Chain A
Amino acid sequence: DGGITQSPKYLFRKEGQNVTLSCEQNLNHDAMYWYRQDPGQGLRLIYYSQIVNDFQKGDIAEGYSVSREKKESFPLTVTSAQKNPTAFYLCASSTGTLARSYEQYFGPGTRLTVT
């Protein structure tokens, strides 16, 4: 079955450590996205990528980094510079790069807790 996988589902880290969240899709989608969700809030865009080896900052990119070396993979690194990293992280992908025209498919999310 085609879809998006995120691993792990739950992740615990100590403050000051970098951590990388995995996102893989087998939908052959060009565009991929990372969102962050805090309790009771909507989703906020961290980074997005329209094509391999290219990515752009979203609304809250500070303290995060990404890479897009392969079409199917878009890992997110939460660095120690991110002041409030504890959140639910969601990866998404879409066929095209204009949000108005293309349905976004979301992964199951990774819940990161930093203490």
Chain B
Amino acid sequence: DAKTTQPNSMESNEEEPVHLPCNHSTISGTDYIHWYRQLPSQGPEYVIHGLTSNVNNRMASLAIAEDRKSSTLILHRATLRDAAVYYCILSNSGYALNFGKGTSLLVTP
């Protein structure tokens, strides 16, 4: 699977939108883009995934660049409970997800 690059950490104010970037310049045409998040001392939680088109669900939105070399996870209104490590993962033919170090999001009141 292709590699992703994310910032180590980001900070946001509560009730503000948050844009978490992910670069994946070597993405292949059949790689899906997944986002998971992990709250402290808990198992990861699925957030959203997509292939080419932007995706929305109750938790977040996923904006995928036209060339698919980058994507952005958008939390529309950050809350304190959104403080977590966010993982951007590419997946193609494998059976398991390749979690990197992710982005640690700090949300301040």
- Residues on A lying within 8 angstroms of B by beta carbon are 4, 31, 33, 35, 40-45, 48, 50, 56, 58, 88, 90-92, 97-101, 103-109, 111
Contact = CB atoms under 8 A, between A and B. Distances in A.
Nearest to B96: A45
Contact of A99 (B43, B45, B91, B101): B91
Which range holds the interface residue count of chain B?
A: 20 to 34
Contacts of B42: 108-109
A107 B43 contact: yes
Contacts of A101: 32
Nearest to A58: B96
Interface of B: 30-32, 34, 36, 41-46, 49, 87, 91-102
B41 A48 contact: no
Contact of B93 (A98, A105, A111): A98
